Amino acid sequence: MKNKKVTETDIDNLITESFLYKRLKLLALNKYKYTGLDELNIQERHIENYLFNYGKCLWFEDKELGLMCLPCQGIGVNVYNDPTRWVATGFNYREEVDATKSVLMENNKLRVPTYDAVMYFVRQMYEVIRARDVNIKTLKLPFVLATDEKQLLTVRKILNEVNENSYAIVTDKNAINLDEVMKVLPTGAKPFTAELTDVYHDILNECLTYLGINNANTDKRERLITDEANANNQFIESCDNMFLESRQRAVDDINKMFGTSISVELRTTLEGGDGGEIKPIQEPTT
C-alpha cells in the first residue's frame, strides 16, 4: 500500500522472521569445515554463503588474482545440457570462464540453494511464533473495547498499562464505571500456547533434519525406541551426504586441476553447543 504507516506489529513481524532466518542460516553455514584454504585468499564463509544463496559456485584461475571462488551463471550448453562456459561475478568483477578450465562446486545434485528450504521452514515457524505472541497478548486482554471519542484517551491509557504489565491501573474517578466508558466484547481467547510451542519444535526438528543436524526429535527422545532412533539417524545421515558428497567431489576436482590440498568434512560440534543437542528476507543478489 502507498504511504502505509509502519506499525509496531510490522516491526515485530520483521524482527521475528529475521531472527529465525539468521539463526537457521548460521547453523547451515557452520556445518562444514574446510582445510587448505589459508594461502588461497578464499574464506570458508564465502564458499558456504555462495552455496547457501545460489546453490553453486565456480572455482577458476584468474591471471592476476590467482585461484578464485565466486557465484556464477552458465552460458551455452553441451549435449548433456550442461553449460560450456560460466560467467563468474563478484563486487566490481566479471569473468567469463571455459567449463573445462574451471570446477563447479554444487550445494547438492540439483544445485538447489539451501536458502529455499530454510525460508520454507522460517515461514512456518514465523506463523507459529506470531500466533503464539498474539495469543499471549490476547490472554492479557481477552476482549475488544468499544468507546466514544471523548473516552478514547482513557481507554488507551488502560490498554497501555495492561501491555506494560502494571499490577494496578489508575484512571479518572469519573471513568470508574467501565460500562459508561466502554463496551466490553469478549474475544473467546483460550490458553493454547503449549500446543503452539510443540508445533514450533516439530517444524524446527524437521528443518534440522533436512540440514543434516542431529536432533533425534529431542523433545520426544524418551519415547523413542531403538529402531526409531536408528531410522532417524540414518535419515539425517542421508541428508548430510546429500550436501557433503557434492562438496567433496568438487574439492577432489579442484585439487587435481589446480594442485591445491583442500579438504572438506562435517564439523563434529556446531558453534554454540553439541551438534546433536542444538535447540534453537531476502538475500541480496549479485
Mean residue pLDDT of the chain comes to 82
Higher pLDDT, 90 or 225: 90
Residue 144 pLDDT: 66
Residue 154 pLDDT: 75
Residue 161 pLDDT: 73
Same domain, 149 and 107: no
For residue 72, what is the domain's CATH number? Answer: 2.40.500.10
Does pLDDT of 26 surpass 90?
Answer: yes
Same domain, 36 and 108: yes
Q: Provide CB contacts within 8 A for 117, sequence distance 6+.
A: 207, 210, 211
In a domain, 96, yes or no: yes
**Mean pLDDT, residues 208-227 taken together:** 68
In a domain, 97, yes or no: yes
Residue 187 pLDDT: 60
Same domain, 180 and 254: no
Asked if 32 contacts 48 with a C-beta cutoff of 8 angstroms, the reply is yes
230-270 pLDDT, tens digit per residue, is 666 777 888 888 899 999 999 999 999 999 999 999 987 54
What is the DSSP secondary structure assignment for residue 213, as one 8-state letter?
-
181-204 pLDDT, tens digit per residue, is 556 556 666 666 678 888 999 999
Q: Give me the residue label for grid cell 564439523.
A: 267
| pLDDT-derived band at 22, boundaries 50, 70, 90 | very high
Residue 232 pLDDT: 66
Number of domains in the chain: 2
In a domain, 70, yes or no: yes
In a domain, 198, yes or no: no
Asked if 52 contacts 25 with a C-beta cutoff of 8 angstroms, the reply is yes
In a domain, 8, yes or no: no
Per the structure, the complete domain to which residue 107 belongs is given by 31-113+242-274
In a domain, 171, yes or no: yes
In a domain, 155, yes or no: yes
Same domain, 147 and 106: no
Q: How far apart are CA 151 and CA 74, in angstroms?
A: 65
The one-letter amino acid code at 20 reads L
**Mean pLDDT, residues 129-136 taken together:** 86
Same domain, 35 and 98: yes
Same domain, 38 and 97: yes
pTM confidence score = 0.76
Point out the least confidently predicted range of 12-16, 254-258, 272-276.
272-276
Higher pLDDT, 153 or 186: 153
Residue 157 pLDDT: 77
Same domain, 165 and 104: no
In a domain, 159, yes or no: yes
3-state secondary structure of 54: helix
Higher pLDDT, 150 or 111: 111
Same domain, 159 and 108: no
The edge-to-edge listing of strands for the beta sheet with 83-90 is 72-77, 83-90, 93-98
